[in-house]
Amino acid sequence: MSTLLHIDSSPLYGRSVSRELTGAFVAQWKHTHPNGAVIERDLNASAIPPINAEFVGAMYTPDEARTPRQNEVLSLSDTLLAELQEAKEYVVGVPMHNFGVPSVMKLWIDQIARRGKTFAYVDGKPKGLIVGKKATFIIATGGMYDAQTQMASFNFVEPYLRSVFGFLGLTDATFITAGGTMGLNSGLDRGAFLAPHIQAVQAHVQIA
């Protein structure tokens, strides 16, 4: 049975473009995988804490030597890692916040980037451990940050996600961007704006 991990990080919920597009992805994925399962992870509803010294200490303590408190500190991280391991495919909604990923997305990445779990060092070289998976990152940006635009150098979302997940071993990644969402605040028709992006998402699911 195929399993999809659906992650959203926008705080806007009903007004969110990235959430609407990941929703379209999931609906199409369910249609093409009628016996599949979907794991839902809303990062804004997960209360993910920032990394602190207690977390780092627990993370680098061998499993068999951890105290009950250390296991408690790592419990959310272990749950998030289990979701990554169970799913064969990921769809991740990411709005651009101040040219980068939302803070909740960074908090989630800090929880799942764990030595011995999602990466290791072999002969002094890093080796990603998230292998045999594929991901689709659906990005929504207020302005236009495509490669040929004036603001391209301000886009730290796709380069960051591509680099960090590549480090973790996930190299089968597709990025679909809906740029220009700020127009929705000044009268741009939402349905007309979303239509081509929804079509692109659905087409990608069918091809994949």
Annotated binding site for FMN: 10, 16-18
Ramachandran angles phi, psi of 187, nearest 5°? 100, -5
Per the annotation, binding residues are 10, 16-18
Give yes or no for a contact between 121 and 127, defined as CB atoms under 8 angstroms apart: yes
- CA distances for 199 relative to 29, 95, 146, 196, angstroms: 13, 19, 19, 5
Quote the longest CA-to-CA distance of the chain: 59
CA 186 to chain centre: 29
Q: Cα–Cα distance between 148 and 132 in angstroms, integer?
A: 32
Q: How far is CA 142 from the centre of its chain?
A: 19
CA gap 148, 151 in Å, rounded: 9
Residues 39 and 26 sit within 8 Å (Cβ to Cβ): no
Q: Report the C-alpha gap between 10 and 141 in whole angstroms.
A: 11
